[in-house]
Amino acid sequence: MVLPRRSPSRCMPLHAVAQPLLSRSRRRAPMEVEMNAQSVLGMIHAQELLIVSLIRALPPDARRKVSDEFHGQVELAEAPHLSDGHDRELTEAFRAHLRKLSILLASCS
C-alpha cells in the first residue's frame, strides 16, 4: 500500500501529532513495578558490566584514578554505621557486588 505524499504546506505540526499519543498514554492505569531483591541485583549486575566496559575504554592513567576512587567508595560503603539491618541479605549482596566491581576495576588499571 502506497500512501499519498503530502506537500510541506499540508503537513501536520509535530505537536498536533504528539498530543493524541500523549493523551492516550495518560488514560492507561499506571504500571505497578515490584522491585524484589533479585531484580535489584540484576540491575546492579548490568550496571557492573556497563561500568567495566566504559572504564576499559579510558586511558590507563584515568582507569587507575577511577579504580582508586571506587575502592575508597567501597571501603566507605562497608562501614558498619551505614547498615540499618532491615534488609541484611540485600545489603550484603550489594556489598559483594561492590567488592567484585572493585576487583574488576583494579584488574583493568
Residues 11-44 pLDDT 10s: 555 545 455 544 555 555 555 556 677 787 788 8
- Strands, E assignment, 1-109: none
Joined grid coordinates for residue 61:
592513567
> Mean pLDDT score of the chain, rounded to an integer?
70
Is 99:91 a contact under the CB 8 Å cutoff? no
Could you tell me if residue 38 is inside a domain? Answer: no
d(CA 76, CA 58): 25
pTM value is: 0.46
Which residue type, as a one-letter code, is found at position 27? R
Residue numbers of the domain that contains 104: 58-109
Could you tell me if residue 80 is inside a domain? Answer: yes
Q: How many domains does the chain have?
A: 1
Cα dist from 76 to 18, 37, 45, 63, 70, whole Å: 47, 22, 20, 20, 10
